[in-house]
Amino acid sequence: MFSKACEYGIRAMIYIGQQSADFGRRVGLKDIAAEIDSPEAFTAKVLQGLVRQQLVTSVKGPTGGFELTPEQLRTVTLKQIVVAIDGPDILQGCALGLPQCSAKQPCPMHFQFLPIRDQLNELLRTHTIGELAGKVHDGLAFLKR
């Protein structure tokens, strides 16, 4: 479904968001990698990209780390993260790999697949990091194991 990079990116964002929302605390790479069970250096690469796209904020030096501003917590969606890392293909590409997904020249799965893909779009579009971080805070969801 998603690439490893994307999985790590989402999990990292939710963890950063949870720490920012609950404690106003910045988190370092080592901390993140440990809490979401991901390779540290690779996760760094993924987060660097998200910082460039301003989906997350980073601060260098002692007491530095990653954080999500209240605005980012409220506005950054799963869709933005997925598109930033994996590109828009999963949101609009053909299930069977045809170069164009269209109702004019549909693949045999098109009309059955479309509603499913649309629901995925809706899921990604309507869920913010702040919302998902809340579940982790409440002990209703987990980021590893």
Partner DNA sequence: CAAATACCGGACAAAAATGTCCGGTAATAA
Partner DNA sequence: TTATTACCGGACATTTTTGTCCGGTATTTG
Report if residue 42 touches a copy of itself, rule: CB under 8 A.
no
Q: In the structure, how many helices (H) and strands (E) does the chain have?
A: 8, 2
- Which of 107/131 has CB closer to DNA? 107
At 123, list the tokens.
């899921």
Other beta carbons less than 10 A from residue 67's beta carbon? 20
Report if residue 109 touches ligand FES, rule: CB under 6 A.
yes
Decide which of DNA, ligand FES, a copy of itself, none touches 29; Cβ closer than 5 to 8 Å per partner kind.
DNA
Report if residue 15 touches DNA, rule: CB under 7 A.
no
Contact window for ligand FES (CB under 6 A) among 34-42, 50-58, 107-115, 126-134:
107-115
Distance CA 98, CA 86 (A): 18
User: How many alpha carbons fall within 13 Å on the CB side of residue 36?
Assistant: 30
- Which of 95/131 has CB closer to DNA? 95
Q: Which of residues 56-95 bind DNA (CB under 7 A)?
A: 58-66
Q: Which of residues 8-37 bind a copy of itself (CB under 8 A)?
A: 8, 10-11, 14
Distance CA 133, CA 127 (A): 10
